[in-house]
Structure formats: C-alpha cells, structure tokens
Amino acid sequence: MTMVFLNKEIRDGDNPDLTEERKTATFDTNKMAEVIYGSEKLARRRREISQAVSLIPELADSKPLPFLSRNEKILESTRKVTALNEHLPRLINMNDEDEAWHIHSEVIGFEGNPLALHHSLFIPPLVIQGSDEQHEKWLGRAKRREIIGCYAQTELGHGSNIRKLETTATYSLSTQEFILHTPTINALKWWPGALGKSSNHAVVVASLIIKEQNYGPHLFMVQIRDEQSHEPLPGIAVGDIGPKMAFNGADNGFLGFNNFRIPRGNLLNRHCNVEVDGTYVRPPHDKMNYAGMIRVRSRMAAEQGTFMAQALTIAVRYSAVRRQGFLENKSQEVKVLDYQTQQHRLFPAIARSYAFIFCGFETIQKYETLQNEMNSGNVSLMADLHALTSGIKSVVTYQTGEGIEQARMACGGHGYSMASYISEIYGCAIGGCTYEGENMVMLLQLARYLVKSVELAMRGKPGDLGPMVAYLAYPDIKVDLVTGPEAYVKMFQHISKRQSIKATEKFHRKMESGVSRDEAWNQCAVELTRASRLHTRLYIIETFIRRVDSIEDLSIKMVLTDLMNLHLNYELLDVASYALEDGFMSSTQMGFIKNQLYSSLEKIRPNAVSLVDSFQFSDLQLRSNLLNFLFQVLGRRDGHVYQNLFEWAKSSPLNQTEVLPSVTQYLKPMMEKAKL
C-alpha cells in the first residue's frame, strides 16, 4: 500500500492534472505540515492517526450523511463516536487534546456528535472552576464517560448579556442547597449542544442569589437525567430545539428547572464559594466565571483556520482538475485554477488559513500561560487576553465564512451540491460568528480596551500601554513599502491607530456634548468595531511575520514568504482607503500594492495544490473518499471527481425508484386532468 501523504508521491491512477500540480511544487508537503502543526512529531502523529483510522471500516460513514434524516444523523454520529471511543486508547495519546480533536474531526466531520461538547465545553469548565474535591467527585467519571455533560449558559431571552441571565440559583440556609429555578419562558436554557437528548449532566450558569442579593452568573454542576433510565429528573424539563443550519448530528437543547434542588457543594468553587452560613467568598477577578469562554475563544483561530483550509483543499484540488474555457492554446481547455480571478478567489484565503493557524497556536499558548498564572492566583493577564481573543474570534470567524463561500463559488455548480461538502463546512464554521460571543458584541469588548489604551496614550502615559497596543503611541513616520514586511506593519499600525483615535475622539466629543456615556458609545459603535477589526488584523499579520521569520528550512521559508506577501498586500489593499484618506498612503503606493498582489498570485500558482495538500486532510475528513463508500466527492486527493459525482447521484434515495409518489399522487393526475 502507498502512504497517502508523501509529497510528490505519484500514485497510479491519480488524475494526471493533479499529478502534474504535485510535480511542480517547490517544497515538501511533509515539511510544510511540520510548520503548520508545530513539529515533525505532531505532523507525523496526525498522519499515523489518519492512516490507522482509514484501516478501521466501522469508523467510516455508513451512508452519505446529507441523505439521512435528523434522527439517522444523530444515530450515525453516535455510532461513530462510541465506536471511536473503543479504539481511542490504541490510536491516540489520551492526554493530548490536539490528537483528540484531530481524530474526532476526522471521524465525525462537521455534523457534530453528542459527545463533542462533553470534551470541549463540559470538562474544561469543571477543570478550571472546580475545586480538587469536585475534580475527585466528577472529573474522573466525566473523563471515563460514565456521565455525559454539556455547558448550559445561553437562555431563550439572553445569550450575549450574561449578567441578565434569568435562571436563578437561590441559596437555602435551612437545607444548605441551591434551588435552581426557571422563572419565565425566556429563562429556559436554549442552544447548549448535546443537552437536548444525550447529556445526563450539565454545567449550568445561573444567577447566584443569597439572602435576596444577586451575585451574578455562577457555574453549577447539575445532574439532569437519571443515570439508569436516562429520563429527566423530577423538576427538569429538557428537549431538543430542532434542526439548525448545520451541526445536525448534535442535539442542541432546551432546559427548564422547577425549584430543582442541588447540594451546596455543586457550586463550582475553586475560585469563589458560598459558606454554610451563606457568606459569599469572592473570586480574585470579577469575571473569573467567564474564564472558560476565554479558553474556547483562544482556540477558535486555529480551529476556524482549519475549517477554511478544508474547504480550500476541496476547491483548489477541484480547480486543478476542472477544465473549462481557453487561454492561448485553443486545442485544450485550461484548468480553471489558471484564471487570475480564480486565484484571487482562492489564494488569499489559503494565506488566511495559514495566518489563522499560526495565530491560533500563539493564542492557545497564551491561554495556557494565563491558566497557569490563574492557578497560582495571578489574574493580571485576564483583561489583555479577553480583549485579544474577543477580537480574534470575531475577525477569524467572519473571514473564514468569506473564504469558505469563495471556495464554494470557485467550484461552480458542483460547489452548490452537498457532494462538495462545502455547505456543511460553511454551516458549521459560520456558526462561529454567533457562538462563543456574538461577533459585534465581542468586537465592542475589544473596543473598550482600545479606547482605554488611547486614553492612556492621550494622557501622556504611553509607558503604561501593554506590548499589544504600544503602537497607539508611536509617532507617524512615512514608510516605503518596497523595504518589506516591517513597512507594511508600520502602515497597518498607522491605519489601526488612527481609527482607534478617531473612534475614541468621537466618543469623547459625544459625551462632551451632553450625550450619556452609554448612548455616546452606541452612537460610535460602528467606528469602534472598525477599530477593533483593524487592530486584530494587524495582530494576525504580525504573528504571520513572526512565524515565517522563525523558519529555517529555505524551501519552506520561500513559499511561505510568497504566501505572507500575498497576505500583506491583500490585507493592506482591503483597508487602503483608511490610509489614502489622510494621505499617509500615496496613490503610487496603492498601485504598488496591487501589482505586488498580482505578482504574488503568479508566484503561488505552481505551489497552490501542494499548499493545500500540506494540511494533510485525509479523504475521509473531507468526506471525499472511496468510491465504494459513496461519500462526498469533490476534494478527493486522486482528483477523480466526475465518476464519483455520478455514483453519488445514483445513491440518492430519490433514485431508488423510477416513479415517485409525488408523480403518481399529484403530477400524473394534474397532467391527466389537463388532457380532458
């Protein structure tokens, strides 16, 4: 058998157009994978895991998922995840979260499964907010999956404004219990993944009430279903919220409490507590209970980067085998990848995928530092990371949505078919603009931080600015873009600084004119969100440059430099109006950026397929694998799309019979009637 991922490995029977692309690559995709995933070992482990999974038939989809009903999807995703759990100890290092994430996304795909939130949103808050005693009680059981959990925060009436959550947890002095209650229909928990039908436990976020005083949102461990019968416990109403835009292999749910009692020890109390006599022990930081959300947001850049990379792998491979129209040679139609418009559609998004993944690994490390500091009582890093991850989460999810949609359009009609798998990736990824904090709301969180930083700079205290915002106090010195990436950074810094200052000054002027602070904020909100986006895009650019600078292998460094230059020019062009406005950028510079961008597209072209091959997604992960399994087919590594598209169509349930009831019951009588 041939190893699936070896660069330039040419397999008999692969589509010759793709083979030709792989031959032109100037670098080794295995080496690039080491850069993407952080080390030789991590990249190799991913290949080994993919290889091992491909040899276990029960881990493959038993049918093409788009042809399944919702119940069948949930059954199928649950079958796969439980089968996977049996194999896991043999396939991955059980303590390695990245390996777990990789294998789950490979086997389960984007449809979700009833355990996805158990690992990503139930166990982490228990780890972060639970005491050692609470870990002793629940963590082992959760890790062994004796119990299944979810994270129940959002309500029907409130998601963004956590302080107004209406579910109450009232401390009863007489029984030393918390009484959970859902006072109105709006207070029903609504959305939590895996809550609807699968979980028997939940980390519930409720407003803590002691002696009629509201202490705000706190986290409670709550058993919601009987461990034997799986029936909801008395006092609990729980169910599924219905089909969604995507992620339909998971059961997002609702949950209501009718004076449901839990012991005092179920308040997750590593950082805060309620004593027996009702004394409240404050956490070291007001927003300590939000720490779990910072964690998830810190992982979103890398996660979304890989989502976009999957759509691009499908679109770029397909664009290399799809031939349509002519350029100079009229005897053979060209690969659509040769069109400049196609390259402009796809290559900047490839660059963003790399940028997001590089940036994502940095933010994950930053979160780990924060977590270690928090464990030793230091919460000083929280505000910075909250601001940073709020911006990153918003920018990457939005741009990932854009990139995936471009990938879909780049596949023409076949991109619109669910055989492309792109709509499923899109549906899941675009949810990221909403979950873990609605994007506008999170951009405004970062804006608070930027406004404060500008105010510090204005008050002549630039020394108090953290490294992330130090540029807000830099003087404006014109730059010559020809000198390279540093000049691009300086140009971007100017743009971002100017927008932050403009938005802050507008905000101040509004208040000085007598408008209240909140109203003034709202009247400046669009400008403020613009400042946040620019600041975040600058940060992403800087992480890209840092990563490329750190690479030693020359062939890899060269192609990544091309990709980085494409990114720099694309990003700067996109925001150029801000710098043209005040004359910081000249129209000559603007022309230079455009020319650089077009020349970057040409440079990337011979490496395009290998740049996406380097992500090393298996055909299973792209739902594009073996003919006899009839999966989605467009991104196959071997490039044989047409015969597989035909197989896919033949497997449609509609084609299992020649004449459908819709014809016999309605169309036929209609036509007969028309003849009379």
Ligand X SMILES: Cc1cc2nc3c(=O)[nH]c(=O)nc-3n(C[C@H](O)[C@H](O)[C@H](O)COP(=O)(O)OP(=O)(O)OC[C@H]3O[C@@H](n4cnc5c(N)ncnc54)[C@H](O)[C@@H]3O)c2cc1C
List contacts with ligand LIQOTWCQ (CB under 6 A): 100-101, 104-105, 108, 110, 116, 119-121, 151, 153-154, 159-163, 193, 247, 287, 290, 293-294, 382-383, 386, 428, 431, 435-437, 441, 445, 448
Measured between alpha carbons, how far is residue 469 from residues 91, 121, 242, 474, 494 in Å? Answer: 43, 31, 44, 10, 12
Contact partner, 515, from ligand LIQOTWCQ, ligand X, none, Cβ < 5-8 Å per class:
none
**Tally of residues, the chain:** 676
Q: Which of 555, 646, 574 is nearest to 25 (CA)?
A: 555
193 appears as a binding residue in the annotation: yes
Question: Active-site residue numbers?
Answer: 436
> Using the rule CB under 6 A, which residue among 441, 465, 551, 558 binds ligand X?
441
What 8-state DSSP symbol labels residue 259? S
Select the span of 41-49, 150-158, 256-264, 666-674 touching ligand X (CB under 6 A).
150-158
Read out DSSP for 211-250?
Answer: TTEEEEEEEEEEE-B-TTT-PBPTTEEEEE----SS-TTS
Query: Within a 10 A sphere around the Cβ of 605, how many other Cβ atoms?
Result: 17
Our CB check for ligand LIQOTWCQ shows the closer of 121 and 597 to be 121
- The label of the residue with tokens 């020319």 reads 595
Q: Is 431 in the site for ligand X (CB under 6 A)?
A: yes
Look at residues 104, 105, 114, 118 and name the one whose alpha carbon lies nearest to residue 76: 114
Pairing of strands 201-210, 168-172: parallel
Rounded to a whole number of angstroms, the minimum distance from the CB of residue 244 to ligand X is 6
- Rule CB under 6 A: is residue 117 a binding residue for ligand X? yes
Which one of residues 122, 151, 260, 354 is an interface residue with ligand X (CB under 6 A)?
Answer: 151
- Say how far apart CA 246 and CA 251 lie, in whole Å: 11
CA distance 510 to 499: 16
User: Within positions 484 to 503, which residues make up the interface with ligand X, using CB under 6 A?
Assistant: none
From residue 510, give the alpha-carbon distance in Å to each of 175, 409, 516, 564.
52, 43, 8, 40
Is 54 or 78 the residue whose CB approaches ligand X more closely?
78
Tell me: is residue 154 an annotated ligand-binding position. Answer: yes
Q: Which CA distances in Å does 402 have to 598, 638, 665?
A: 20, 27, 43
Provide the minimum distance between the beta carbon of 121 and ligand X in the complex, in angstroms, as a whole number: 6
**Residue 622's closest CA among 431, 403, 343, 424?**
424
383, 325 contact by CB (below 8 A): no
Pick from 273, 434, 599, 651: which binds ligand X (CB under 6 A)?
434
Does residue 241 belong to the site contacting ligand X (CB under 6 A)? no
Contact flag: residue 192 with ligand X (CB under 6 A)? yes
Q: Which is nearer to ligand LIQOTWCQ, 103 or 641 (CB)?
A: 103
Question: Which of 159, 232, 235, 466 forms a contact with ligand X (CB under 6 A)?
Answer: 159
* Cβ at position 202, least distance to ligand X in Å: 9
Which does residue 152 bind out of ligand LIQOTWCQ, ligand X, none, counting CB within 5 to 8 angstroms by kind? ligand X
Q: How does strand 177-181 pair with strand 213-223?
A: unpaired
Residue 126, token pair as written in the block: 């228990």
- Give Cα 639 to chain centroid, integer Å: 27
Asked if 444 is part of the footprint of ligand X (rule: CB under 6 A), the reply reads: yes
What's the token pair of residue 194? 């895996």
Q: How far is the CB of 202 from ligand LIQOTWCQ (least distance, A)?
A: 12
Q: How far is the CB of 249 from ligand X (least distance, A)?
A: 12
Indicate the residue among 396 and 495 with the shorter CB distance to ligand X: 396
N-to-C CA span, the chain:
65
- Which of ligand X, ligand LIQOTWCQ, none sits in contact with 180, Cβ below 5 to 8 A by type? none
Residue 440 contacts ligand X per CB under 6 A: yes
| DSSP state letter for 184 | S
Residue from 92, 245, 94, 76 nearest 623 by CA: 76
Least distance to ligand LIQOTWCQ from the beta carbon of 302, Å? 12
**Amino acid, single-letter form, for residue 486:** E
Which option in ligand X, ligand LIQOTWCQ, none does residue 120 bind, with CB closer than 5 to 8 A by kind? ligand LIQOTWCQ
Q: To the nearest whole angstrom, how small is the minimum distance from the Cβ of residue 115 to ligand LIQOTWCQ?
A: 7
254 binds ligand X (CB under 6 A): no
C-alpha to C-alpha distance for 416 and 401, rounded to whole angstroms: 15
Residues of this chain that interact with ligand X (CB under 6 A) are 117, 121, 151-154, 158-160, 191-193, 247, 252, 431, 434-435, 437-438, 440-441, 444
Which residues belong to the annotated binding site for FAD? 154, 193
Binding residues: 154, 193
